[in-house]
Amino acid sequence: MGQLLPLGPNIRISSLDISHNQLDGQLQENAAHMIPNIMFLNLSNNGFEGILPSSIAEMSSLRVLDLSNNNFSGEVPKQLLRAKDLEILNLSNNKFHGEIFSMDFNLTGLGYLYLDNNQFRGTLSNVISRIYELQVLDVSNNYMSGEIPSWIGSLPSLKSMEHLEHIHLQGNMLTGLIPRDFLNSSSNLLTLDIRDNRLFGSIPNSISALLKLRILLLRGNLFNGFIPNHLCHLTEISLMDLSNNSFSGPIPRCFGHIPFGEMKKEDLFARIRDSGYEGSRPVYAGYLVKYWGYSNFVYEQKDEVEFVIKNRHVSYKGGILDFISGLDLSCNNLTGNIPYELGMLSWILALNLSHNQLKGSIPNSFSNLSQIESLDLSNNQLSGEIPPQLIGLTFLEVFSVAHNNLSGRVLDMKAQFGTFGESSYEDNPFLCGPMLKRKCNTSIESPYLPSQPCKESEGKWICYLLLHGPILASKMVQLY
């Protein structure tokens, strides 16, 4: 532990990075006067606390301010919210509170704004629309309320938000619909994370305008209606999470034509080769801001999202996001059969269709999910046998078909399927096999359910035959 030593007023410093130390205490009110010409100030990942001195805004040359991962509290000084030359402001993971987007907010030169994991309240005011160069907006895990603004209502053109690439609004108390104009004004968006709010209604068809979107996370809201086919226009998508909502109806068949991380070999090698940063432009999953000539500092901040994979909430950050792909439709009211076309997602790593009302059989085409690591089909109304072709899914680490109406023999305990225990198959009364302690023999017949209920006019014997399957029925005819 230690405290920041005061600097002499005559020392000319353009950049100061003392991040990731064990410094603590409070910043003195006149601390900013000691380094008036500084352009880059990084105090992140320390133990600083207390209220932020208003004099920090008097650093007239300041371009980058990173105070993240400390214990600062109180409201953000109004003077700081008027620093027009500030290009990067990172206040994440502190205890700041108050209404951040007020009339005092006039940071029109910002490119990157991180306010996540604080106690900010209020609404997402249209003042954000005046930040014409904004590329990253993260206000996740605060107490923001109200609706998502369209951000283009009174603007002269849609170009005002053309630079916006990453939006993180998850973990707030936002309500209302997703504005159609909000989607139309963000055509260059790569990440849209609005999980765990109180948003409702359907997904607007205008979402198809986000042709560059890579990550779409809508989990934990009150969305309803059918999943629109317009999502299939998002051909760059790699992660899509629609779980824990009230979507109904069938899974769109066209989902099988979304690449979900598919890439050619040459593209894969190109991504690895270019995993660094070129010039001042960011790669997809991370951003690096460089200033050369008048300053020699480097500031790096990478995008981070959370996705449930292998039954775990995992945060993925930076370049790894280029190689993670998944589709989560769990915990909805989806009905109908699992589309055969989903078996075309040969590059997908995680597929979760659990806790719905899906019926029919598991498609044989799932044997083509050659890269899949997590497949969860549990808690549905699936019937029929488990396709034996699934034994060829050699990367599978998590597999569950529990709580369905499946029948027949569980797959042989070979390759990856030798690692799955009883819990992967439980509550399927017509499944059999050694791990279920239920022997398989020819006297156990698969359940057969008619597509329509019996009518009294068909006669009691016809109903009996329909309800108990063709083999059992033939025996009853002989007895009769």
For 238, list phi and psi in degrees, rounded to 5: -125, -30
SS3 219: coil
pLDDT in tens, 219-243: 999 999 999 999 999 999 999 999 9
Identify the pLDDT of residue 32.
65
**CA-based radius of gyration for the chain:** 28
Domain over 346-436 is classified CATH 3.80.10.10? yes
CB 250 within 8 A of CB 282: no
Instruction: Look up residue 333 and give its two tokens.
Output: 């009211």
- Taking the domains of the chain in order of start, what are their residue ranges? 2-323, 346-436, 456-480
Mean pLDDT in consecutive groups of 10 residues from the start of the chain, 480 residues: 52 82 86 74 94 83 92 93 89 95 84 95 81 89 92 46 86 93 77 96 91 94 96 94 97 94 55 43 38 50 81 81 91 98 95 98 96 96 96 94 96 89 94 87 48 41 39 34
Calpha distance 273→267 (Å, rounded): 10
Kindly give, in sequence order, each residue whose CB lies less than 8 Å from that of residue 410, ignoring residues fewer than 6 positions away: 386, 425, 431, 432, 433, 435, 436
What's domain 2-323's architecture? Alpha-Beta Horseshoe (3.80)
CB 70 within 8 A of CB 46: yes
Calpha distance 60→37 (Å, rounded): 7
Helix (H) or strand (E) holding 479: helix 470-479
pLDDT in tens, 71-96: 999 999 988 888 888 999 999 999 99
- The model carries a pTM of 0.84
Q: Is 2-323's fold the same as 346-436's?
A: yes
Calpha distance 329→15 (Å, rounded): 47
Instruction: Give the single-character DSSP code of 202.
Output: P
